[in-house]
Amino acid sequence: MEVRWTIWLLFVSHVCAWYIPGYSVKRYNDDEPIPLLVNKIFSDNTQLQYAYFDLPFVCPPSGKSHGGSPFGSGHSVSLNLGEILRGDRIMTSDFELHMGKNVECQALCTVEVGRKDVKWGRKLIKQGYVAEWIADNLPGATRFVTVDRSRKYYATGFKIGDLDFSPASGKPRYFINNHFNIVIRWRGAPEGGKVVVGFEIYPKSIRSDDYQENGCPKHVHDEHEGLELYIPPNLSRLKELYPGSSYLPEDDDEADDGATLKVPYSYSIYFKEEPGVEWSNRWDLYFNNQDEGSLTHWLAVLNSLTISGVLGVAVFVIWSRTVQGDIKGRGDGAMEDSQHRSRSKSEKKGEGLLDQGADVERDGDVSDDEALEDVSGWKLLHADVFRVPEYSGLLAPLVGSGMQLLFMASGLLILSCLGILNPSFRGGFVSVGMGLFVFAGLFSGYFSGRLYKTFKGVQWRKNTLITALFFPGLVFCLIFILNLFVWAQASSTAIPFGTLVGLLALWLLIQVPLVYLGSWYGFVRAQPWEHPTKTSSIARQIPPQPWYLHSIQGTILTGLPPFAVVFIELLFVFKNLWQDKSGYYYVFGFLSAVSTIVMITVSEVTIIATHSQLCAENYHWWWQSFLTGGSSAFWVFAYCIWYYLFHLHITGFVSSLLFFSYSFLACAVYGLLTGTVGFLTAYAFIRRIYSSVKID
């Protein structure tokens, strides 16, 4: 069985998320217009994004329609929820592209930029911002070749400008890119027409003096001196501000003296046939690090299987020797014999009979302990192991929310591996994930309500409200507070107010009723989970525990094996989320394999930790199993801190706040999900082992 699962996981990891081709193919005839859309600018050094048309130094939309479109330039394209949440702001533009029609040069506009706008532009160039345009659902990219010239790949977006240093003074100089060479790669379609298989943009900076009266530069393809974002300081004003001073600041960016810098914009269009690229494979060049990282992914899977296999052997030993061997060898007989001897001694002492539902008296009598010294430690807890834990009214909602997240994560990974969620479905991962989370409110309510009923709770409506409002409410409040900081930066990363209202309505008007429906069925219609042993009226005294069973350090240490399974794959996930936003993470096959092994590892670690706790005669396993399962989230968050300090170059308070807040939120989601897996595994394990021992 284990070999079969291993082969299956390796097969799944090899399925590097193919996507369904052909369902949205757009074929163009000669001279047919190709809409060019502008989106946003983003940087790997900050988490703040800005809409392209919000930049004061680019050509504003003229409002004219092009190519027979009913909408003029500057019209906002309808976006799905995922696109809005990821900061996309897609709009129509004034660029005119016609299939097969090359354009040597086309003037766009001339913009006059003031001192404050120049200062902001220089800041954006310094932070490495790149712009994203879209044509035929492909993001504009810059084409690169590897060092050995054996492979080509794409980097999404193009630089809005370049930073250079003066050879004489060594001071930084900022050049704005104002001419765009647009390359459309196409191939003929078998059904007729042409399809776009590549969209490339190569910007360059050309100073204003090299432009002619028609708005185009002289000799477009020649080398030109760049257009520097710089306005000379107003010396007369500076002398007034610093009278008698021998030093005058070179930058006078804050002055509003009406000085401007003229920035002309133009573009060229070239169509090139690419017969070697199929339309279904046109995204391959964007996955620039899949091939070179394939070996590392396989090492991650092998590392995960090794750790999980070692823990699996430990679980097998526990089950075969400690549990099954004990039951077959002496379990019931020893239990009954010890109870008989204990009752005999009690009768001789005149202290009465032991309670039939308990194992021993709760007064810790030494003679009783001696009578039961040949009984395994975990068996002594048969009358206490299913005792209702403290704060059960919080544990049930957390387990319900964890099942909701588990359903959402499983659905996303399955759909991604099948190719339904692919890069051409922009924002689909977040949109579908939100839909799955809302629909999974049924599972959240059901498991929470049934577990609450098992805990002998009676206020099931209160439990339903906690389940529906607690975790989603904390997430919404955190996002709302972070959104205030982003709003203050005028960034497109900020969620619009209307979208926030929509999310609130989606939560309160759809998810909450679904949670209520699932909770009603789980509490009212379904039966509570039956336990194989009865619980005594008097709680057993717990002996002193080893440090690793009752300290927070011990719980944290149990999170190391699951973290060791997942940390290699985290390198790729973090690189695409935080460090290389122009790339695409699309090896969901490997991620699915590693995620499955992580869940198995969490289950194995929880079984080992729970069995050790029971053998130490500690029946407070409910919360402990939940914390053990979710303890690897602590190490993931520590990894986030390490990654921030040694790999990222994030600047600014708001960007750092966003990084740590979203990292904490992601770790909380991960911990809640794995904690639920650990809890359910321990619950099933304990019910199974105690159902094997018959207690009279």
**Of 471, 474, 529, residue with least CA distance to 675:** 471
* β strands within 64-129, DSSP E: 91-92, 103-114
Render pLDDT for 43-92 as a digit per residue (tens, 0 to 9).
988 989 999 999 999 999 999 988 777 889 999 999 999 999 999 999 99
Render pLDDT for 670-696 as a digit per residue (tens, 0 to 9).
999 999 999 999 999 999 988 876 554
* β strands within 376-483, DSSP E: none
Predicted confidence at residue 356, as pLDDT, reads 36
Is there a contact between 662 and 617 (Cβ–Cβ < 8 Å)? no
Q: Taking residues 183-189, what's their average pLDDT?
A: 95
| Lowest mean pLDDT segment, chosen from 36-40, 72-76, 347-351, 561-565 | 347-351
Is there a contact between 44 and 582 (Cβ–Cβ < 8 Å)? yes
Are 119 and 202 members of one domain?
Answer: yes
**Of 12, 86, 152, residue with least CA distance to 430:** 86
- Identify the three-state secondary structure at position 509: helix
**Of 553, 360, 525, residue with least CA distance to 450:** 525
- Give the orientation angle of helix 588-615 with respect to helix 653-691, to 10 degrees: 50
Are 472 and 574 members of one domain?
Answer: no
Are 311 and 227 members of one domain?
Answer: no
Q: Which domain holds residue 621?
A: 304-321+378-386+555-695
Render pLDDT for 442-488 as a digit per residue (tens, 0 to 9).
999 999 999 999 999 999 999 999 999 999 999 999 999 999 999 99
Are 113 and 225 members of one domain?
Answer: yes
Does the pLDDT of residue 333 top 50, yes or no? Answer: no
| Domain annotation covers residue 537 | no
Are 120 and 147 members of one domain?
Answer: yes
Predicted confidence at residue 325, as pLDDT, reads 53
Is there a contact between 693 and 380 (Cβ–Cβ < 8 Å)? no
Are 672 and 584 members of one domain?
Answer: yes
Predicted confidence at residue 591, as pLDDT, reads 84
Does the pLDDT of residue 6 top 70, yes or no? Answer: no
Render pLDDT for 391-415 as a digit per residue (tens, 0 to 9).
999 999 999 999 999 999 999 999 9
Predicted confidence at residue 338, as pLDDT, reads 43
Predicted confidence at residue 526, as pLDDT, reads 94
| Domain annotation covers residue 360 | no
Q: What is the pTM of this model?
A: 0.85
Local confidence band at 22 (pLDDT 50, 70, 90 cut-offs): very low
Does the pLDDT of residue 541 top 50, yes or no? Answer: yes
Are 596 and 519 members of one domain?
Answer: no
Are 577 and 593 members of one domain?
Answer: yes
User: Which amino acid belongs to residue 586?
Assistant: Y
| Domain annotation covers residue 547 | no
Predicted confidence at residue 660, as pLDDT, reads 96
Looking at the chain, the number of H-run helices and the number of E-run strands are: 21, 14
Longest distance between any two alpha carbons in the chain, whole Å: 117
**The two structure tokens encoding residue 131:** 């712009």
Q: How far apart are CA 595 and CA 590, in angstroms?
A: 8
Predicted confidence at residue 17, as pLDDT, reads 42
Residue pointed to by tokens 């991620």: 591
Q: How far apart are CA 40 and CA 89, in angstroms?
A: 6
The length of the chain is 696
DSSP string covering 637-694: HHHHHHHHHHT----SHHHHHHHHHHHHHHHHHHHHHHHHHHHHHHHHHHHHHHHTS-
**The two structure tokens encoding residue 370:** 């001696």
| Domain annotation covers residue 152 | yes
**The two structure tokens encoding residue 221:** 């393809």
Q: How far apart are CA 227 and CA 453, in angstroms?
A: 72
Which run of H or E residues covers position 1? none
Contacts of 678 (CB under 8 A, 6+ apart): 602, 603, 605, 606, 625, 626, 628, 629, 630
| Domain annotation covers residue 673 | yes
Distances (CA, A) of 575 to 83, 93, 450, 661: 20, 31, 41, 18
Does the pLDDT of residue 139 top 90, yes or no? Answer: yes
Are 167 and 314 members of one domain?
Answer: no
| Domain annotation covers residue 523 | yes
| Lowest mean pLDDT segment, chosen from 176-190, 547-561, 631-645 | 547-561
- Identify the three-state secondary structure at position 211: strand
Residue 226: strand pairing partners: none
Are 515 and 458 members of one domain?
Answer: yes
The answer to whether the Cα torsion of 119, 122, 126, 132 is positive or negative is positive
Are 249 and 152 members of one domain?
Answer: yes
Instruction: Please state, as a whole number, how many other Cβ atoms lie within 10 Å of the Cβ of residue 166.
Output: 9
Q: How far apart are CA 421 and CA 418, in angstroms?
A: 8
Q: How far apart are CA 49 and CA 39, in angstroms?
A: 10
Using CA atoms of 215, 220, 226, 230 in order, give the dihedral in degrees to the nearest 10: 10
| Domain annotation covers residue 347 | no
| Domain annotation covers residue 71 | yes
Are 214 and 263 members of one domain?
Answer: yes
**Of 370, 474, 463, 396, residue with least CA distance to 676:** 396
| Number of domains composing the chain | 3
Query: Which one is predicted more confidently, 551 or 298?
Result: 298
